[in-house]
Amino acid sequence: MKFGLFSLMTLRDHPDGARGVMADTRQMVEQAEEAGFDIAWFAEHHFANYSMSPSPLMMAAHAAGWTRRIKLGAGVIVLPLYNPLRVAQEIAMLDIQSDGRAVVGIGTGYQQFEFTRFGVPIEEKVEIFLEYWDVVEMALTQGVVEHHGKYISVPKTTFAVRPMQQPMPPVYFVSSQVPILRRFKDTDAVSWIAASTLGSPVLYKMADALNQNWRVAGCDPATKPLAIMQYINITDSKAEALEAGERARYVGRMAHHLRVGELPMDGTLIRDEPFAGEGTIEDYARNTIVGDPHHVAARMVEDIRRLNPSHYACNFQFGCMPLERASRSLQRFRAEVVPLIERELGPVASLGEVARVPHAAQ
């Protein structure tokens, strides 16, 4: 199993605004590379402070200039919102810029707010995704596309920019829709689930639903690789744990408003406004993985035993968590949590001794 760093890049109370969020993200990625993490993931969201990363491919290309070993992942490209010809070229370009370290994360998207503003019918997102992915895959693997479909028509087109990794970079996809599982069942693509602020209880329900749909799609789910993502904060302080729960609740509130498409706004920021049925701060602190190293390790061991993931992505900076605390969590994760996990499960993690590689000049 390998670990990843997931950067949602939420802006809430950072004194330096979006620029500060991006600077913090760089420091966290550099730290993750030094700690031996496998992939740095960058989110994609639009038009709100839920995320300051409208383009995960641009973030990954930016990171290619100041990282040397860690893989760089789009987590994930909301494919129905793109022109597939353009995104295929940008994936190939990232792979060249990063010297073969690109990882392609793709999904259908879920936020009504975004789809409305891009003029894309969210009820057709699965059908659009499947057609667009056919075009992207053809461009990356064959270097030539000719396609005439419902959503896009492409005359014979050649692609001069081709990925270094052949036939294409690794693919992760976020969807449990049966048509999408059927599309990927005979490939090496990795399915990815993330319950985010809802934590392990919902993550396990999502995994059960995914496994059931794999069976409907004609696959034994035990044969299919799985990636998961969790929000993690390592602290010995009950007060800090509750503050982490409050930050998780804010992210959960934003996600809810974006999903239904109606945002309570204060200027450019989504208001911290509750919704019917939400949990308490204590619920959010309990459901996300927040606590001392022994508690965090025990929760992660439970995840690993139940889900057997090949990749475990960690979000240490959710809710615009101050850099000092996020950085401390990552350091303690490497130094204190990973040894506890391996004491229980053996050498499951990929974080061995990592050769220190100098970063590019600032």
**Which pLDDT score is estimated for 339?**
95
**Which pLDDT score is estimated for 362?**
30
**Which pLDDT score is estimated for 351?**
74
Q: Write the pLDDT tens digit of every residue in 108-131.
A: 999 999 999 999 999 999 999 999
pLDDT above 90 as % of the chain: 92
Residue 53 near residue 19 (C-beta atoms within 8 A): no
Four-point Cα dihedral 14, 17, 23, 28, nearest 10: 40
Identity of the amino acid at 193: I
What are the residue boundaries of the structural domains of the chain, listed by start?
A: 2-345
Phi, psi of 265 (to 5 degrees): -110, 145
How would you class 271 by CB atoms within 10 Å of its CB: exposed for 0-12, middle for 13-18, buried for 19 or more?
middle
How many CB atoms sit inside 10 A of residue 239's CB?
Answer: 8
Q: How confident is residue 355, by pLDDT bands cut at 50, 70 and 90?
A: very low
Q: Write the pLDDT tens digit of every residue in 237-290.
A: 999 999 999 999 999 999 999 998 888 999 889 999 999 999 999 999 999 999
Determine the CATH number of domain 2-345: 3.20.20.30
Q: Write the pLDDT tens digit of every residue in 290-341.
A: 999 999 999 999 999 999 999 999 999 999 999 999 999 999 999 999 999 9
Alpha-helical segments (H) within 65-168: 84-97, 112-118, 125-142
